[in-house]
Structure formats: C-alpha cells, structure tokens
Amino acid sequence: MDKLRVMFLCTGNSCRSQMAEGWARALAGDDIDIKSAGIEAHGQNKRAIQVMAEVGIDISAQESIRVNAEMLEWADLLVTLCDNAEEQCPLLSPHTIKVHLPLPDPAKMRGSEAELLDEFRESREKVRQRVEFVLEQVALDAAV
C-alpha cells in the first residue's frame, strides 16, 4: 500500500506549516509522506527555526514554497492551519480530504524579542497538538 500523503498549508509557509511539517516528520517518521506549502511563500522564519531547534527538530533545510495544482493533486490529506489558507485554498482533487485546524500567525505578533519567542514557543506547542491529532486520526483510520 502507498504511504498517506499529508500537506500542511498556511498563508506564507514560513511558521505554522513549516513547524507542522517538522513535527510530522519527527513524530510519524517514514510512515507518511509530508509536505508543507503556503498560499504565498514568505521565506523561512528565523524564530520558527529557533524554537523548533529547541525541541531537537531542524527545519532549517525546509523550503518556503507556494502551493500549486500539482501539490494539491499529490495530497491525500490537506491540513489548513489558518483561516486565510482555508478560504484561499484552490480546488482540491476529489480524493483529497481537507481538515481545518486554525492557529494565529506568530509572525504577526509584536513585542520584545523575548515576548516574540514566547509566542513562537506557544505556537510550536499548539502546532504539535494539531499534528498529533492528525496522526491519531490517520492511525484510527488505518486500524478500521
């Protein structure tokens, strides 16, 4: 049987979806194929890279990419991580299941560097919870 193909989508593919891709790779290993993308490509976010490194996950080699039709065709499961991605997502293939698990964008927060890092850490943990939820659902479906 082919591996399940999961894509995480947010607005800029620099924070939330990048963290989700990193968590999914760490938690699921080689059990599923994982990608992330954005409605736009905003580049890598140094704070997202830093807070993921704090938990031993290196996302520095991941690329910030804009979603395209080929990627949407590839995905069996699309997880949108913000309302903008949910609203702006292009049409999906009939075989693709979409799950919406929104989070605020930590890159839009303002404050001192310490406050911003705390926001990114909180986002990291919320992303982890969402990825764990997705992986639990995938495991339940596989068991049925």
Q: Which of 6, 7, 9, 10 is catalytic?
A: 10
| Residue 57: closest CA among 127, 136, 139 | 127
Q: Which of 26, 89, 109, 116 is catalytic?
A: 89
82 is annotated as an active-site residue = yes
Q: Which of 6, 57, 78, 82 is catalytic?
A: 82
Cα dihedral across residues 1, 136, 126, 76: positive or negative: positive
15 is annotated as an active-site residue = no
Q: Which residues are catalytic?
A: 10, 82, 89
